Amino acid sequence: MVRSVAGVRLGVAQAGIKRAGHDDLVLVELAQGSHCVGLFTQNAFCAAPVRVAQEHLKQCDGSPEYWLINTGNANAGTGEAGLEAATATCATIAELGGCVPAAVLPFSTGVIGELLPTQSVLQALPQAFVQLQADGWDRAANAILTTDTRPKMATRRIDLDGREVTLTGMAKGAGMIRPDMATMLAFIATDAHLAPELLESLFRTAVEASFNRITVDGDTSTNDAAMLAATGASGVSVDAANPSAVQRFGEALDSLCLELAQSIVRDGEGATKFVEVLVAGGQDEDECLLVAYTIAHSPLVKTALFASDPNWGRLLAAIGRAGLDDLCVDEVAVYINNVLIAERGARAATYTEAQGQAAMDSDELVIRVELNRGTAVARVWTTDFSYDYVRINAEYRT
């Protein structure tokens, strides 16, 4: 059950951006005085709403009053006209909501390179205000989807010294997923009060271990954003003077972000398998991630996963081309769901094809690589490549 967050209301409207009669516009109202932090795409061709949201977040000193999210159109690759469209939507919300335009942050997802139908959005905004309600999370989570097949929501409720704090979030994303902060958006709110510096520190830690550790296809979107707002409406403060409360809040936030991130992977376009790539024994985390992503992004590995084919040679090839200096292949061991596949540069002496096939037949896999050259560990979550992935992306604009 998704729980509402005191100080947050959500409203949904239909702007007909992609098709008539479809929820495609979400307005999130944040209580005045809320603190907000955001992490955005590193794509150089970042979308107009990303640029406007980043600028407005600075101008309002991290205290926005509204988030506006539209689906069906990314408003990316649209030049000056795209910036004007994003700015116009913020200005209209400011007029309707009685705030300054800089207190509105816009977010878009959908097809790149198409102009946002600004007038249709502006005409739908009054209805979004009418629909504002504290328990609007479910409808909102459905309204922000594109090629997703299901909504993605998570809630945590924690006790801090006898007082209750709630965290709730929603996300969308199924393809063009490798955030680097996919087409990924995440919106999380809590009714706790946190100072901006602490809020940002905890969020960066949570995002780094969750949204920045998932990949469906290795493509970083132009529109990625992950947002966290703290309304303070519960009256509970989380601050450095109480390290235990900070730790418990951070653990809840980490867990919530990881659940949302993994739900994106599980709903990856055409995905039939959920795959954890675990690389251990590296000299540092960076080289573990280098190996993990090389495996996770390999089309040959991903198609073998779809076929449930224990083609361990493709795994060795990916590890070998990851670019690690002075890699001793005789020290590397590879496992699939705890079945030792390869060691000492060859098929493991204990391995049988029947064991490998039994492991690969599972819908959930752990590919574990032991480098045996250090103590660092890193995890990445990914999917296979299926026929449906090709079909979905081939037909995306048709």
In whole angstroms, what is the distance from residue 253 CA to residue 92 CA?
Answer: 33
SS3 call for 150 = coil
User: Is-contact 179 212, C-beta < 8 A?
Assistant: yes
Which H helix or E strand runs over 173?
none
Q: Would you call 183 a catalytic residue per the annotation?
A: yes
What secondary structure does DSSP assign to 266-296, as a single string? HT-TT---EEEEEEEEESSHHHHHHHHHHHH
How far, rounded to the nearest angstrom, does the alpha carbon of residue 335 sit from its chain's CA centroid? 27
* Whole-angstrom distance, CA of residue 268 vs CA of residue 230: 29
Q: What is the CA radius of gyration of the chain?
A: 22
Distance CA 310, CA 353 (A): 8
Element (H, E) at 343: strand 339-343
Q: Are 169 and 186 in contact (CB under 8 A)?
A: yes
> Which structure tokens are listed for 240?
């450095």
Q: What is the phi-psi region of residue 313: left when phi exceeds 0, alpha when psi lies from -120 to 50, beta otherwise? A: alpha
CA angle 78, 80, 84 (to 5 degrees): 100
Catalytic residue among 166, 183, 220, 294: 183
Distance CA 150, CA 326 (A): 45
Q: Where are the beta strands (DSSP E) in 82-222?
A: 104-111, 152-160, 163-172, 185-190, 193-194
Phi, psi of 300 (to 5 degrees): -70, -40
Task: Please give the helix or strand (H or E) that residue 253 lies within, else none.
Answer: helix 243-266
Active-site annotation, residues: 183
